Structure 1
Amino acid sequence: MSTMLITGAASGLGWALARAAWQRGWRLILVDRDGQALAERSARLAGVDTERLRHFALDLTDAEARDRLVATLRDQPLDVLVNNAGITHRSAAARTEMAVFRQVMAVDWEAPVALTLGLLPALRAARGTVVNIGSMAGWMPVLGRAGYCSAKAALAQFFEVLRGEVADDGIGVLMVYPSFLATPIERNALGFDGRPAAHARSSVGRVRDADWMAARILDALAAGRRRLFPDRFTLLASLLWRLAPDLYHRLMRRRFAGELDH
């Protein structure tokens, strides 16, 4: 039986992935900072079949806690590591406190990078795959998300480099680029001062649900895909940014004009 570790597993896309993977027969290791929610979700999912599921409550930006997790798991084969835990902000860059940018980078870039590097022995033993939940914001600018765009761009570049460096070890990388999802990451977005954002998010295209996204990620994983653009709009928008960046900026400023006031 194959083993999958999912971060940010107690809600949103992580929880949808856990449910979908469980139904497909995976053994799961679930990680989340919300210990109570994680325990409740794990009990609901596993029931009496606790041999197929382990869970660990910790903040992945806590280096010591992360190192303890790695020490616990690194000597056991790991087939899939899903770096899903994330955070975003909705605030104009010029108004945003540096602490907010640091927090977003710590969660969205540093934590998945450090966890992956720590678990390379486990992934190598299973000839496993790293799945990273990126974002269309890592490919193209989005007003009000300067820190998030930066973190997701850095995530993509790091793992595209790592892909080439660990290919001979049999380790794969699947980069996932969803657009807008109906998940808690947006409901819990930070404002300019680190408190919850007070204004509703701007979006373009269809807002998909987490179950829809989870199924496509697992299908892409099973097919050995390297990159997943699950929404045609996302792919077309990324092409527009590359082929006609000035037009893209005009359209973005029109659609996200409300972000300029926050």
Structure 2
Amino acid sequence: MDKNQPENLQKTFVITGAAEGLGWAITLCLAKKYRAEFVLVDISTEKLRQREAQLRALDVRVRIYTVDLSNYLAVEELVESLRNEYSRVDLLVNNAGITHRSLSSQTSSTVIRKVMVVNYHAPVELTQGLFAGLKAASGCVVNISSMAGWMPVLGRAGYCAAKSALHQYFEVFREEVRNDGVSVLMVYPSFLATAIEQNALAGDGGQARHQRSTVGAVRSPEWMANQILTSLEKGRERWFPKDISLIGAYLYRLAPTTFLKQLRRRFRMELGTTP
């Protein structure tokens, strides 16, 4: 990723969930180092317009698209618009996500489907749809996955399933397109201080009201964005947190009974149990 690229070869960066949290932090981090046209995708028109104004004040080229990524027709329309507008895509950041905090036995199929569509189907469909542009630019796909894709997190069955699917799909995809010059960076954070948790769904589709339980350090989106940029510049293919959540992932594989016992204790509030 050469920030001194000539104007006539200006890069195109597409970022979903870009209006706040990690998506906005990634956008700002990239805008400080690279000359590019930023394509910001989010569900909130009002927030997108605020971000558009902020970037234009910094003399950054920007386009905004209001899209509900849980709507597959809206995703198809977005892909068609981007293909018509951009012949090359240097960077696609699949950041948009949604989670739930509810027991699997008390979570509606509608919630599970929505979590799966936003976290798995939308990134896959965007990547497939924009593949010609990614190939033309020898571009990179960045997927914001989660340590929940590597180990169970109680009260997040649908989210864990979606992130596991994302992991498996793009591990295969990376190898299949390696000779096409398209790269993939998989990012596996533990817990971040972003709106995804504030907006977590309850089992009935409303907003989860109970306090979340966490494993490992809760990091800021700015910290995470800098880690991602460093990983991109070093050509890394995966990023893992160096904290207790990574230890937990290894423990789950080596001693799953012990890991799950500890997890039940840590998440007892969400399970509705006492010590």
**When the two structures are superposed, what TM-score results if normalisation uses the length of structure 1?**
0.96
Map 1:42-191 → 2, pairs under 5 A: 42-47=52-57, 49=59, 52-74=61-83, 75-191=86-202
Amino acid at match of 1:210: P
Amino acid at match of 2:25: A
Partner Cα distance (2:175, 2:76) in 1 = 25
SS at match of 2:170: helix
Indicate the residue corresponding to 2:32 in structure 1. 23
Partner Cα distance (2:72, 2:153) in 1 = 30
The answer to whether the Cα contact below 8 Å between 1:213 and 1:230 also exists between their aligned partners in 2 is no
Q: Given the alignment of the two structures, is residue 245 of structure 1 paired with residue 256 of structure 2, yes or no?
A: yes
Shift of 1:256: 0.5
Indicate the residue corresponding to 1:222 in structure 2. 233
The answer to whether the Cα contact below 8 Å between 1:216 and 1:230 also exists between their aligned partners in 2 is no
SS at match of 1:3: strand
Shift of 1:2: 2.6
Deviations 1:77-114 (A, max 9, x none): 11110000000000010111111101100111111111
Amino acid at match of 1:192: G
Count of aligned residue pairs for this structure pair: 261
Amino acid at match of 1:40: Q
The answer to whether the Cα contact below 8 Å between 2:16 and 2:96 also exists between their aligned partners in 1 is yes
SS at match of 2:218: coil
Partner Cα distance (2:62, 2:139) in 1 = 18
Q: 1:254 to 1:26 in 2, by over 3 A?
A: farther
Partner Cα distance (1:231, 1:191) in 2 = 30
Partner Cα distance (1:7, 1:236) in 2 = 30
Partner Cα distance (1:85, 1:94) in 2 = 26
Indicate the residue corresponding to 2:4 in structure 1. none
Indicate the residue corresponding to 2:50 in structure 1. 40
Identity %: 53
Partner Cα distance (1:62, 1:143) in 2 = 27
The answer to whether the Cα contact below 8 Å between 2:215 and 2:245 also exists between their aligned partners in 1 is no
Unaligned runs of 5+ in 2: 1-9
**When the two structures are superposed, what TM-score results if normalisation uses the length of structure 2?**
0.92
Shift of 1:48: 6.6
Unaligned runs of 5+ in 1: none
* Residue 206 of structure 1, aligned match among 196, 203, 217: 217
Q: 1:177 to 1:26 in 2, by over 3 A?
A: farther
Partner Cα distance (1:73, 1:148) in 2 = 28
SS at match of 2:184: strand
Deviations 1:229-254 (A, max 9, x none): 13333322211111111111011001
Indicate the residue corresponding to 2:19 in structure 1. 10
RMSD: 1.4
Partner Cα distance (2:241, 2:216) in 1 = 13
